[in-house]
Structure formats: structure tokens, C-alpha cells
Structure 1
């Protein structure tokens, strides 16, 4: 494992320091910049928060802080749930290879949530506001209809943002949905992806990847308020499959593959599906989501929403910023990375 960031790197860091680590490998840029790794996370500070961006040019052996994604439109700060993405193709006027960062802009009093989208045309040296995907209510008080946890991908030549939505409280404690855009500026209607009949169900933290057979797999956590704790866990990690990545049968709660929450899924170059949950394990499936999932231990401790980025040659980049911690928790998290070879057989 390699340490990307510690609290000593920044003068204003406060506990829990870092959370919600996310990574990226560039593969659609020019020859000079392809193969670079990037990482980001929530950064807890006493002033206005931003998402720090780190770069590695030696496949994760070392990292350096190169920029920050700052709030350029609200004056609130970029506070929660960053996500990094590289466009694989041209979308509107956005060229293939442009870097995107989506995240939740939230004021200090937690009175609003906005999933804003930023772009970088200079390989993460600087960032510019592009658009707002969706806006919700108060971030800190349950029942106040916030939006959370963006995940970006391109499907059918459209930029798609999946997110968690608490704005339909009478029917759904929380649901998963997505919006699409042809240009990254204008966003279409919200489409439900996991919206269950049980009003106490809280599906959250969707991640999506295209499998070798052309179908798409989504992982998400399933929390039911008041549920019985089993083996120390109330949350479950579920998955479900879509033929086109945009139609997910919202009433389908999916299939459990792990205890714990905040799962993440990706697909390796050899077609194997790899997912995780809150533990140190990876879960591997070689049949496009059908049948058995094999459990693989990693040397990196479990964490809240560890991201998985395929690197080729059965390797995956894991970015961690430690286990879940509330915004005032007395935790000293570091941002770390691991390049892990997923064993075959």
C-alpha cells in the first residue's frame, strides 16, 4: 500500500481528515498522458472544503497533490462524495479524454445539497464548473430531502449521472435514480433505478460497469430502517443487471452478494466482474454476474466506499480513505492506494 495524503500535507485539515476515496486511470487522452492515475476524496477542513486531486505517473508507486476542485458557483464548498471520470468519447463539445469531477456542494450549515459537475482540459491542473445535475434539501437532518453520491459513466453516447435521492419521502426513504445529458450542460428527466415498495428501504451508493457480454451491472447498498443486525452488519450489498444500462426495473431490489454497504463494482480486461463492500475482501465473478462469487482477501483494510479501477493484467487500483466516520468523528484517516493483482482460478 502507498500513502497518498496525510493530514500534515494541509494546514487546515481537521478530523476525520479524509473520507470516500475515489480513483481514475486515464486511457483516452494523448500518449503523454495516458496511463496516469488520479485520486480524490472528501477533505475535512475548518474553512471552505474542496476536493484535493492527486496524480501518479508511476502506476501508484508515488503520488503528488496537483490541484483542488473548488466551488466556483455557490460559495459553499465541495464537501461530500466526489467522483472522478474520464470521457471515453466526445459528448457535445466535451472532447474524449477530458476529466470530470462530480460532487456534492453543501454549505457549512448543511442547508442544501447540489451535485455539481466540473471539467479539466489540462490533465487535472485546473477545473471549471460545467453544470448542476440535481439539487436537494438539507444534508445533515434526516427527512429533509437531500441528494447524494454521484456516479458518472457514458452509455449509448450519453453522459449518465446515477445518484441517491431522498426527495420522495412519503413513498421512499431513499431511492436510486439517474439523469442523462447529450452535452454535459443540460440534464434530462430523472429516471428511477431502485425505488422499492417498502417506504423504509434505503438503497444507496450506486456504481455501474459494462460487462464483457454487453450487459451492465449495478451494485448498491441496501439498508432497511429497523432491520435486524446480522453478523454485526445491518447493511447488505446487492447487485442487479440491465441489458442497456438505463433500464433497471426499479421495483427489483437485486441480489445480495456481501454483508456491509458502500459497494463498488468494476470489470477487468479479462471480463471478470470485481466488487467490494465495507470489508477488506473483493468479490469476483467470471460469468457476467451469474452463479458464484469468489471471495478474495486483500491487504488493504475495509473502508467506506473504496473505489476499484481496472488497470489491465488482472490488476485493480483500490483507493481508500478509511472506514465511515461522521463529520465530527475523532478519526485520523489517511488517503491510501493499493495496486492489487486479482488472482485467477
Structure 2
């Protein structure tokens, strides 16, 4: 990477951001509207992260016309999400087929190998235009997202279609712990036994990955746990949230297939009012909202989020209204300078769609 000018720009940005805007509630700020030549669904799967200097970065699945191959855009906000500008495009530097599906941004909270605390990471899948293969990869930025380097391949899989019997790998999520990085993902490669299961791999240097570890799998072949996200709680435990395709759903009485949101292998998340969120969850914890803080879960079904102020107790989930629209796999981000504010990023719905755009809202817990 060429870093001299980039680092100078980053340093300037750091100073301005630290003394700049503070979080405030926002309702459906349009971060990016795709041009008319983008292909269906135009944008999807928005993700956001906050840098140590308080700047926000966002990315998403970006269905720009091909060729050239698709990429993950990087947009920055220096005013707590009110306005955004493009600062980089993460291109597929390893395979050249395009960074296509399921990006995930993460800031290392501690050093891992030669990568210092504060290094920005990007996980996602390199997939060719014909969707013939999947490759989960890892990229890194040492200058707050301005330039990027390919770091490693993590897992390779087959055709990028979510059908039982195929072998793709999907939906990465990153978490660092005790000098190691954990790379969670959905895995269809054990397709003789499972339609899909949840797994992880770990690394101490971001380059060489340990053997795969199974996290969640069910004996019924058509069951499909997917989309794992994890958050650290104040008692030292972690909450692991995922969608359980084919799982038991007390709101579904006709036997139809649904994707209830599960956590820690408990019965599904059910609110005090009897609601059961379904599909594409995302979880964060914030110290705001009570003695034990607040667990917040977003789901693809709904505009609302689901809050729990009792460390995940099954009878303590509440549905809370937000100004954000429902969106396939919205992401959540807690503001570090004031953790009572939480950002919601959405990229619209699954195809067909000709109206998707990237939207940002900020709520106060």
C-alpha cells in the first residue's frame, strides 16, 4: 500500500473528527442512491463501523454494471452520520472476479500478529459474475480506510446460490479475542449431512487460519442456521445470534418454513408482547439503558429493534419502534463517544428491487 499521503490525510481527519460532531437522532439519511445502470438489487447488506477518531465508515454490496468487477465502496462520515462521502473502493486484488457479497467492517481492538490495534479489517466474499464460486477473504487498511491490502483467503466454496446440496460459504462476521481473530461464517460444504451450518476459524496473524470449528448445526437436513453475529456482554459472556431457517416459530401455525431469530441455542427470541422477529439478525450490546446495559437485535422482518436489559433473559425482550425501514440484514453500531446512540444501516430488500438505496438512522436507547 502507498501510505505516506494517506496517513497525513488520516491524521488531519483524526484531529477534526475528535473535536467535531456528537451523535444525535437521525431518521433515514440517504447515504447512497445507485445510478440507473446498476443491476437488481442495486445495493444490499449495508455495514457500518466507527474508527478510533470517531469517524464512521460504511460499505455494502454494490451491484455496479460489469465489467469491471464489482467492489465494496467505502464511504466516510465526519459528522456522526449526517453526511457521507466516498473515500475508497476495495477491489478484488487476489482473484480479480469481484468483491460481491456480504461485506463486514471491523476495527481491531487489540493487536493480532503484526496488525496493530486500530487496524481496519474488511471481510467479504469474492464471487465471479456467473456466481460459480465463493471465496471468503480478508482485507486490511492501516490508514482508516483510504487504502487497502489483501491479507488472506479464509475459506473457499461452490456456487453462490443458497440451495441445499450446493457448497457455498457465506456471511462473515469478525471478532478479536486474546490476540486472535475469529472469523464466523455460514457453511454449506458439509452438504451430505447438513443443508447449512454455522462455523468459525481463528488466526493469530490474519494470514494462516486454524481448522474449522462447528458452532451451530441441526440434525434435520433442511434446517439452515445462518447469518451469525456475536457481541460481548458485561459479565464476560458472549451472545451469539443467528437466523434458524426451518426452526420452531410459535407465530407460525401452518407449518410454513420461516427464519426465527435464535440466540445461544435457546428457544427463539420472543418479546413480552409475543412477537417473534424473523430473518437476517444483527446484535450489539451497549452499556446504556440499565445496570446491565442493553442487548439490541435487528431483524430483516421489521422496522423495530428488539431490546433486552437483563443480559438476554428469555422473558425480557421488548420491541422498540425506530424510524428506519425494514431491510435485508440491517447492521447496528454503538457510538463510542455516547453509547446511548445506536446507528442502523440498511441497504434495502432482496431482489427484485429497482428502488434500493443505502439508508442510515440513529436511535437513542
> TM-score if structure 2 supplies the norm length?
0.84
Deviates more, 1:217-226 or 1:298-307: 217-226
Q: How does 1:23-62 map to 2 (within 5 A)?
A: 23-27=48-52, 34-47=53-66, 48-62=69-83
For residue 305 of structure 2, the aligned residue among 282, 288, 300 is 282
2:127 to 106, 113, 116: 106
CA gap of 1:228–1:59, structure 2 versus 1, over 3 A, is: closer
| Cα drift, residue 105 of structure 1 | 0.3
Whole-angstrom distance in 2 between the partners of 1:138 and 1:207: 23
Shift of residue 254, structure 1, vs aligned partner: 5.1
Would you say 1:16 and 2:41 are equivalent positions?
Answer: yes
Q: Which residue of 2 aligns with 1:2?
A: 29
Is residue 2:287 matched to residue 1:269? yes
**Does the 8 Å contact 1:17/1:44 carry over to 2?**
yes
2:363 maps to 1:340: yes
Match of 2:5 in 1: none
Residue pair 2:113, 2:179 contacting (<8 A) in 1 also: no
CA deviations over 1:100-135 (Å, ceiling 9, x no partner): 100010011111100011011111111110001111
SS of alignment partner, residue 14 of structure 1: coil
CA 1:25–1:302 in 2, change beyond 3 Å: closer, same or farther?
same
For 2:70 and 2:160, locate their aligned partners in 1 and report how far apart those are by CA, in whole Å: 15
Task: Name the CA shift for 1:266/1:169 in 2 (closer, same or farther; >3 Å).
Answer: same
> Given the alignment of the two structures, is residue 298 of structure 1 paired with residue 317 of structure 2, yes or no?
no
- CA distance in 1 between partners of 2:342 and 2:257 (Å): 26
Stretches of structure 1 lacking an aligned partner (at least 5 in a row):
28-33, 241-251
Say whether residues 1:172 and 2:205 are aligned partners.
no
- What's the CA shift string for 1:289-323, capped at 9, x where partnerless? 11310110101111111000011341101110012
CA 1:285 to 1:114, structure 2 compared with 1: closer, same or farther past 3 Å? same
Q: Distance in 2 between matches of 1:71 and 1:225?
A: 36
Structure with a larger share of its residues in strand: 1
The runs of at least 4 consecutive aligned structure 1 residues that moved more than 4 Å come to: 225-229
Residue 141 of structure 1 deviates from its aligned partner by 6.5
Name the larger-Rg structure.
2
Query: Aligned partners of 2:201 and 2:62: how far apart in 1?
Result: 27
Task: Give, in whole Å, the separation in 1 of the partners of 2:167 and 2:250.
Answer: 25
Pick one of 191, 199, 222 that aligns with 1:200: 222
Q: CA deviation at 1:77?
A: 0.1
| Pairwise CA RMSD | 2.0
Ranges in structure 2 where 5+ consecutive residues have no aligned partner: 1-27, 271-275
Pair 1:63-2:90 in alignment:
no
Distance 1:217 1:164, change over 3 A: same
Q: Taking structure 1 as reference, are residues 226 and 89 closer, same or farther at Cα in structure 2, changes over 3 Å only?
A: closer
Shift of 1:269: 2.7
